[in-house]
């Protein structure tokens, strides 16, 4: 099976040569050949620049705690490719993946060769595999579907969800989504469906107004953070975030999460608002204790995740300016008196000047490195964009980590933060857990 699986994955990965092609024509063609599996599914659709994965994870854990079988379609992956399509946190098996590729491959080739729509992209094909898997193989009670990027023309936007969620708006994929908050918001808000509600944690006034206008035009109920739902009494307790959630439906006091950072409180609240809607309007049976336990159990790998105690080391997939802002706030919140050693590597198509400037402001020492990936920025380029007085280049990222760990252990002072591209963090996580 390994050979078959590797061949199937290689075929799927080869679709990256077709790039990113916004539009739903190819998706609709392929799904029609399969009898429209997406129409069989109960779904929640989640868009946003950051926070999608954490919000999905909070929802999944609460729903599972209540006894529901939950499918998730997320990206990118941290441990293995298959985890992008999971049920109750268990990735699709190699066998099921191979069988679905065999089934879908002829349809993909027909779409590329016999229609005017062109060849489907890797993400389009993966989305079709996920929808077919959830509809006909694993059959979860509900599926939580993350957009790839954007929303309006994203390949996942073929579903009609019970509720749509827009976590936030930030500067990412601007070459595709637009150069302004307004343009990006319009694309993200494209997931709102007529008559179905939208929950959002977007806070920029101009972005919130666009979402409100689109929701109104589609007769969709709107639930906004700070208005229809909010968090109050946020505090740290024994290293965990504690808060009270208040919505139009109820109030839950002294909720607790282990995920670090005030942004995770907002993600948890956004997930809770979507859960509340499912409870109120779709008869999901979820009690308060299941909500509390689900929140407390939630983890999301690669997001301010501790991977070593000696020295204290965290990895964080902060791959855009908003992600870097959130990381810096979390560091200040939890470790205000520690010396901060940062190792950074990122993709060259990101707003690197802005990202590096934010890290320079918080780091006592910056180390720039690189990893094997066709879009990776060279360590030298990152170094030259930095203004830190204490910055270094170590091109071999494994050596960079070992060197920094040793420095911190010898000085007994400081913590190590490894951040940047999620592709980079995926490799770092495996290396750290194998060698710690």
| CATH code of the domain containing 148 | 3.40.1190.10
Same domain, 205 and 324: no
Higher pLDDT, 180 or 162: 162
Average pLDDT of 196-213?
95
Task: Pick the last residue of a domain from 238, 271, 297.
Answer: 297
Same domain, 362 and 275: no
Same domain, 293 and 319: no
Higher pLDDT, 280 or 435: 280
Task: Pick the last residue of a domain from 297, 319, 351.
Answer: 297
Answer positive or negative: Cα dihedral of 212, 213, 216, 218. negative
Same domain, 76 and 223: yes
CA atoms of 344 and 341, how far apart (whole Å)? 10
Same domain, 282 and 334: no
Average pLDDT of 83-108?
97
Same domain, 144 and 59: yes
Torsion region of 207: left, alpha or beta (phi above 0 gives left; psi -120 to 50 gives alpha): alpha
Instruction: Quote the pLDDT of residue 374.
Output: 85
Instruction: Quote the pLDDT of residue 178.
Output: 53
Q: What number of other Cβ atoms are within 10 A of residue 400's Cβ?
A: 23
DSSP states of 207-254: HHHHHHHHHHHTT--EEEBTTTEEEEEEEEETTEEEEEEEESS-EEEE
pLDDT tens-digit readout, 342-381: 999 999 989 999 999 999 999 999 999 999 998 899 999 9
Average pLDDT of 387-402?
96
Partnered with residue 344 across adjacent β-strands are: 368, 419
Same domain, 247 and 159: yes
Residue 46 in contact with residue 55, Cβ under 8 Å? yes
Confidence of residue 436 (pLDDT cuts 50, 70, 90): low
Instruction: Quote the pLDDT of residue 19.
Output: 75
Query: For residue 269, which of 290, 251, 282 has the smallest C-alpha distance?
Result: 251
CA atoms of 27 and 155, how far apart (whole Å)? 6
Instruction: Quote the pLDDT of residue 252.
Output: 98
Q: Would you say residue 173 has pLDDT above 50?
A: no
Instruction: Quote the pLDDT of residue 50.
Output: 87
Q: Would you say residue 75 has pLDDT above 90?
A: no
Instruction: Quote the pLDDT of residue 171.
Output: 62
Same domain, 272 and 312: no
Average pLDDT of 219-230?
97
Same domain, 138 and 275: yes
Stated pTM of the model: 0.92
- What angle (nearest 5°) sits at the alpha carbon of residue 96, between those of residues 93 and 100? 140
Average pLDDT of 246-275?
96
Burial class (CB in 10 A: 0-12, 13-18, 19+), 294: buried
Same domain, 238 and 127: yes
Same domain, 142 and 9: yes
Average pLDDT of 122-140?
97
Average pLDDT of 230-257?
95
Instruction: Quote the pLDDT of residue 408.
Output: 94
Average pLDDT of 268-275?
98
> In the 8-state DSSP scheme, what is residue 347?
B
95: preceding bond cis by omega (within 30 degrees): no
Instruction: Quote the pLDDT of residue 189.
Output: 94
Task: Pick the last residue of a domain from 232, 262, 297.
Answer: 297
Instruction: Quote the pLDDT of residue 239.
Output: 87
| Choice among 182-191, 247-256, 269-278 with the minimum mean pLDDT | 182-191
**Count of residues in the chain:** 436
Confidence of residue 256 (pLDDT cuts 50, 70, 90): very high
pLDDT, averaged across the chain = 93
pLDDT tens-digit readout, 60-72: 999 999 999 999 9
Q: Count of domains in the chain?
A: 2
Full domain range(s) for residue 165: 2-297
Residue 26 in contact with residue 18, Cβ under 8 Å? no
| Percent of the chain with pLDDT strictly greater than 90 | 82
Same domain, 287 and 323: no
Confidence of residue 170 (pLDDT cuts 50, 70, 90): confident
Confidence of residue 288 (pLDDT cuts 50, 70, 90): very high
| CATH code of the domain containing 369 | 3.90.190.20
| Choice among 123-127, 149-153, 164-168, 385-389 with the minimum mean pLDDT | 149-153
CA atoms of 94 and 150, how far apart (whole Å)? 29
Q: Would you say residue 209 has pLDDT above 60?
A: yes
């Amino acid at each position: 099976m390994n050979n078959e699986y590797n061949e199937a994955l290689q075929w799927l990965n080869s679709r990256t040569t077709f790039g990113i092609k916004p539009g739903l024509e190819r998706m609709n063609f392929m799904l029609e050949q399969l009898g429209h599996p997406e129409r069989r599914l109960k779904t929640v659709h989640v868009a946003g620049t950051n926070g999608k994965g954490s919000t999905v994870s909070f929802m999944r854990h609460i729903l599972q705690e209540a006894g529901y079988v939950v499918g998730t379609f997320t990206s990118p992956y941290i441990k293995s490719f298959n985890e992008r399509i999971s049920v109750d946190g268990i990735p699709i098996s190699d066998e099921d993946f191979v069988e679905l590729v065999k089934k879908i491959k002829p349809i993909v080739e027909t779409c590329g060769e016999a229609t005017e729509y062109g060849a489907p992209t890797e993400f389009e094909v993966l989305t079709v595999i996920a929808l077919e898997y959830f509809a006909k193989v694993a059959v979860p009670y509900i599926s939580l579907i993350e957009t790839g990027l954007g929303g309006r023309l994203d390949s996942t936007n073929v579903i009609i969800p019970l509720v749509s969620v827009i976590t936030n708006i930030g500067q990412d994929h601007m070459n595709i989504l637009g150069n302004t908050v307004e343009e990006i918001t319009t694309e993200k808000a494209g997931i709102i469906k007529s008559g179905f509600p939208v929950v959002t944690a977007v806070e920029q006034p101009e972005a919130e107004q666009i979402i409100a206008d689109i929701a109104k035009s589609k007769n969709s109920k709107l639930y906004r953070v700070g208005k229809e739902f909010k968090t109050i009494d946020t505090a740290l307790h024994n290293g965990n975030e504690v808060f009270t959630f208040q919505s139009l439906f109820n109030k839950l006091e002294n909720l607790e999460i282990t995920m670090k950072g005030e942004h995770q409180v907002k993600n948890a609240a956004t997930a809770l608002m979507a859960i509340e809607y499912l409870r109120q309007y779709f008869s999901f049976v979820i009690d308060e204790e299941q909500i509390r336990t689900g929140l407390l159990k939630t983890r999301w790998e690669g997001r301010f995740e501790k991977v070593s105690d000696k020295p204290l080391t965290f990895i964080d997939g902060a791959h855009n300016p908003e992600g870097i802002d959130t990381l810096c706030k979390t560091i200040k919140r939890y470790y205000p008196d520690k010396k901060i050693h940062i190792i950074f590597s990122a993709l060259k198509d990101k707003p690197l000047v802005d990202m590096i400037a934010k890290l320079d402001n918080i780091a006592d020492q910056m180390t720039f490195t690189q990893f094997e990936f066709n879009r990776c920025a060279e360590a030298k380029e990152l170094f030259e964009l930095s203004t830190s007085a204490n910055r270094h280049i170590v091109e071999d990222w494994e050596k960079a980590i070992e060197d920094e760990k040793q420095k911190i252990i010898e000085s007994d002072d400081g913590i190590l933060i490894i951040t940047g591209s999620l592709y980079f963090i995926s490799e770092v996580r495996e290396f750290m857990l194998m060698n710690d």
